[in-house]
Chain A
Amino acid sequence: MTATIRAIPRNTVSDAAAEAIHIEDLHKTFGTLHVLKGVSLSARDGDVVAVIGSSGSGKSTLLRCINCLESPTSGVIRVNGEEIRLKPDGNGSTVPADRKQIERIRSRLGMVFQSFNLWNHLTLIENVIEVPVSVLGVKRERATAEAEKLLARVGLLEKRDIYPAFLSGGQQQRGAIARALAVQPRVMLFDEPTSALDPELVGEVLAVIAGLAREGRTMILVTHEMKFAREVATHVVFLHEGRLEEEGSPDALFSSPKSERLQQFIRRVG
């Protein structure tokens, strides 16, 4: 697998067929706070893109713009070659122009949150089948059979009927990964998946994510785990103050960082 991600020069038509995610000149402001200042980025099928940077650099916002949990202030987002239609919201920002489109796109982007966000009124297995059944229209029996396989895969089959409140953080996050896998995602979005975990629980979650990366799943991974990013990513992106400061292969970025900011960052986080 080669690193096929690169900054997209503006006004360049790229090969959309193999492109899973394409972001062009993305801006996002919260009030007077300019969080993203023109980020361009693309990921092809099979890429594992790690987004790193200090807190406040806009990593999570970038990820949340991909499925429009945050609407970009301006810019272009394409998922599997389909451009998300945005319209002005009247306050200088945008909102999705077509709810049906954004809901369809979201339903195939498996998102994993920092704080797990398993639905706490549903058992683990109910969490996993919820989206396939209620959004994608899969028959309950089929979704359940599929969910059992996924839970077995993340090592939680025996916890299938347990409510999230009774699971450890690591178990909840593995369950959340199973929930994301259940939608057969084209791209998986990980938003700092281990940041809310006790140190001794980080390993079990990273092991699951590494397994997914090895089987060639396309994923965008916002993370603070530098060692992990270096091991599993095919491409690393370093954000600094809302700009894409440097990107490249993990080895190139971590062994011989060019920009001074990245050098500082690597020295700081080790």
Chain B
Amino acid sequence: MTYSTTTSANSRPVARLEAHRIVLIAIGIALAATAAALMRWDWLPNYYALAIEGLWRTVLILIVTCAIGFALAVPLGMAQVTGPIWLSLPAKAFCTVIRGTPLLLQLWLLYYGLGALFPHYPWIRESNLWPLFRQAWPYAILALSLSCAGYEGEVMRGAFAGVPLGQLEAARAFGMSRWKVFRRVWLPQAIHKALPTLAGETVLQLKSMPLVATITVVDLYAVALRVRQDTYVIYEPLLLLAVAYMTLTGVLVWIFNHLEARIPVRVG
């Protein structure tokens, strides 16, 4: 048996310039050069500001909805693992419904359904929140947050259930209150267990983002649509969009990898 002495948390191999990487980089540069030379990019300066705004909005919606979604996912997962039946059943039902229906449908039901229902109630129309309810983005945030909560609630259920009982028992045996057991042992261990799956969910969430364009929220994808409508240039904005999403995904994966590496895991 060998014991690795990982004193530093970052004992991951550093990316080096190996032969296959150099070839890949060369191919990438060649593709980019070909695209730059043969395709139409004259529209780009006109949409620069709008694209940045769309990118920013996509990132902002992603962060906000993932934060709200995860904050909801923790109690959703917990309720299913230890909650009484009147808590665990609704939590289970919520996760099942969210996971069982298309996000596009949820988004439209909220936007066209709730959005159409609200004006019928004078007390809503007269409330201070009415200007908010008349815009599209609150519905986008709501739908994406609930979707995230549904998927991650299921992930957290498994993660909470997967923390060995002995870990919690040790915490109880040393006099931790229920809340402290949860905060100091159960939650951190569950999150660490769930991180690889949560990373995947977050990447999927990023790529669900174009759906908000269907309810008039101008995200990155909506900008590409606008370019097409204005200039009849189709492929170039879509290519650029693909590159933007890949970059964002890369950043997300990088962040999650770092979070995971904070606690080394013994392999084998």
Contacts and interface: CB of A to CB of B under 8 A. Distances in A.
Interface of A: 67, 69, 99, 102-111, 113, 115, 117-121, 130-131, 134-135, 161-163, 165-168, 179, 183
Interface residues of B, number: 28
B118 to A, nearest CB: 45
Nearest to B165: A117
Interface stretch (B15-23, B45-53, B167-175): B167-175
B3 interface: yes
A39 B228 CA distance: 83
A23 to B, nearest CB: 17
Interface in B240-268: 263-266
A120 B5 contact: no
Contacts of A103: 175-177
A166 B263 CA distance: 11
Given A113-B170, A120-B167, A168-B3, A134 B177 contact: no
Contacts of A130: 174, 184
B184 A134 contact: yes
Nearest to B2: A166
Contacts of B6: 162-163, 166
A71 B263 CA distance: 35
Given A120-B189, A121-B189, A106 B170 contact: no
Nearest to A107: B175
B262 to A, nearest CB: 9
B117 interface: no
A118 B171 CA distance: 10
Interface in B137-196: 166-167, 169-178, 180, 184-185, 188-189, 192
B167 A119 contact: yes
Nearest to B3: A166
Contact of A121 (B1, B169, B188): B188
A69 B170 CA distance: 10
A164 B6 CA distance: 11
B17 to A, nearest CB: 31
B175 A117 contact: no
A166 B4 contact: yes
Contact of A166 (B167, B170, B172, B264): B264
B7 interface: yes
A168 to B, nearest CB: 7
Contact of A131 (B1, B174, B178): B174
A106 B1 CA distance: 36
Contacts of B176: 103, 131, 134-135
B172 A69 contact: yes
User: Top 7 closest A-B pairs, CB basis?
Assistant: A107-B175, A106-B175, A117-B170, A165-B266, A117-B166, A111-B173, A103-B175
A221 to B, nearest CB: 16
Contact of A117 (B169, B188, B189): B169
Nearest to B172: A69
Contacts of A135: 174-176, 180
B173 A67 contact: yes
A104 B4 CA distance: 38
A113 B166 contact: yes
Interface in B49-102: none
Contact of B169 (A113, A120, A134): A113
B30 to A, nearest CB: 45
Given A69-B169, A119-B171, A99 B177 contact: yes
7 contacts: A102-B175, A111-B170, A113-B169, A120-B189, A121-B189, A130-B174, A163-B264
Nearest to B6: A166
Interface centre among A106, A109, A110, A119 (most CB of B within 10 A): A119
B260 to A, nearest CB: 12
Given A161-B7, A167-B3, A119 B185 contact: yes
A128 to B, nearest CB: 11
Contacts of B188: 121
Nearest to A100: B177
A238 B236 CA distance: 82
Contacts of B263: 121, 163
B72 to A, nearest CB: 23
A120 B172 CA distance: 16
